[in-house]
Amino acid sequence: MHVPDGFINAPVSAVAGVVAAGAIAVSLKGARRELDERTAPLAGLVAAFIFAVQMLNFPVAAGTSGHLLGGALAAILVGPFTGVLCVSVVLLMQGILFADGGLTALGVNITDMAITTTVVSYLVFRGLVKVLPRKRRSVTVAAFVSALLSVPAAAVVFTLIYAIGGTTDVPISKVATAMVGVHILIGIGEAAITALTVGAVIAVRPDLVYGARGLQQRLKLRVRGELVDVPEPVAVPVAVRTSRRKVWAVGLVTSLVLAGFVSFYASASPDGLEKVAKDQGIDKKAQKHASDDSPLAGYGVKDVSDARISGGLAGVIGVGVTIVAGTGVFWAVRRRRSSETSSPASLPEGV
């Protein structure tokens, strides 16, 4: 659903850029509360994983494909504020290095793919977790439903943005019907990928999943014939069967394999937005990307003639750049939080 340059006019693109910048500023502040020594490294990995899986377009209808947006996955694994930052880092790397998503449309893409998907999915997820049984399986179910709904929500937001600032004269009803219809199908794939990934992490390290916090079992004591919870400080610790380093290493290797090898077998059909844009005439004023001459434009390495090697190298480079950029951002946010909590002004009076 990467919006190219030229789909949305300059004034609306500028407003979307301001909205995106404001949301990122708020997310940087909110991420300080979400990130700790466990989740800061995981957040960079989540960004790299989303980049890798976004290269895997899957067929959803005749001549149409879809790919992961990632907002739901990021929000559930590392928190909604950090999730917005994860997807934004991915979109920035894609736009600058791979000519995927316009640079003038970066604000539109962040508003649509990072903010909308993360906010909608996390609100749905928290609502479901509150009413479902307090079990790990409920987290996976909630992840599936929230991811499914986040994709058509992004399609609706794009339609609204296009209705305000679209550069072609296309009936908005046709755009809405086409966008929502195809993205409901894409949402099923998004939901499956999100639920499988969240379920896999919960199976080995539930304590690393932001959305699963507070679901651990509590010790109970029988008092006067009734079972009561033991106070929070002595709650049963989560059994740690796999180290954080191993989870991180497995995630990194998986991302590299997906981007460097599996991506070669991804569907070559246009994604949902590309197909709708072509069918409805939205792309009539699409502009050449400013990074079209980039050595990695189009997810291939310039001057490497073998398509398999070229795409694989581009994918591996993309994962590497994204994990470095993402980890750098999240460690900086984490260090800022640590410095604030340890400063003299933050200490209780008399300490």
pLDDT band at 341 (very low <50, low <70, confident <90, very high): low
The CATH number of the domain holding residue 154 is 1.10.1760.20
Asked, for residue 206, whether it belongs to a domain, the answer is yes
Rounded to an integer, what distance in angstroms lies between the CA atom of residue 206 and that of residue 213? Answer: 8
Domains in the chain: how many in total? 1
Asked, for residue 1, whether it belongs to a domain, the answer is no
Q: What is the pTM of this model?
A: 0.89
- Please compute the mean of the pLDDT values over residues 282-311 and round it to a whole number: 94
Rounded to an integer, what distance in angstroms lies between the CA atom of residue 43 and that of residue 87? Answer: 10
Contact 157, 112 (CB under 8 A): yes
Asked, for residue 280, whether it belongs to a domain, the answer is yes
User: N- to C-terminal Cα distance for the chain?
Assistant: 53
Asked, for residue 271, whether it belongs to a domain, the answer is yes
Rounded to an integer, what distance in angstroms lies between the CA atom of residue 202 and that of residue 2? Answer: 30
Rounded to an integer, what distance in angstroms lies between the CA atom of residue 147 and that of residue 141? Answer: 10
Q: What is the mean pLDDT of the chain?
A: 90
* Residue 241: per-residue pLDDT: 56
- Please compute the mean of the pLDDT values over residues 289-306 and round it to a whole number: 93
Could you list the residue range(s) of the whole structural domain that residue 79 is in? 10-346
* Residue 262: per-residue pLDDT: 97
- Which residues touch 261 (CB under 8 Å, ≥6 apart)? 312
Torsion sign, CA atoms 19, 107, 193, 251: negative
Contact 242, 248 (CB under 8 A): no
- Which residues touch 329 (CB under 8 Å, ≥6 apart)? 44, 85, 89
pLDDT tens readout for residues 218-252: 445 566 666 555 555 444 444 455 788 899 999 99
- Which residues touch 58 (CB under 8 Å, ≥6 apart)? 65, 66, 67, 189, 266, 267
Asked, for residue 25, whether it belongs to a domain, the answer is yes
Q: What is the DSSP string of 76-122?
A: HHH-HHHHHHHHHHHHHHHHHHS--S-STTHHHHIIIIIIIHHHHHH
Asked, for residue 202, whether it belongs to a domain, the answer is yes
CA distance readout (Å), 64 to 88, 122, 270, 303 = 25, 28, 5, 29
- Which residues touch 47 (CB under 8 Å, ≥6 apart)? 74, 86, 87, 89, 90, 322, 323, 325, 326
pLDDT tens readout for residues 88-119: 999 999 999 999 999 999 999 999 999 999 99
Asked, for residue 4, whether it belongs to a domain, the answer is no
Asked, for residue 265, whether it belongs to a domain, the answer is yes
* Residue 351: per-residue pLDDT: 39
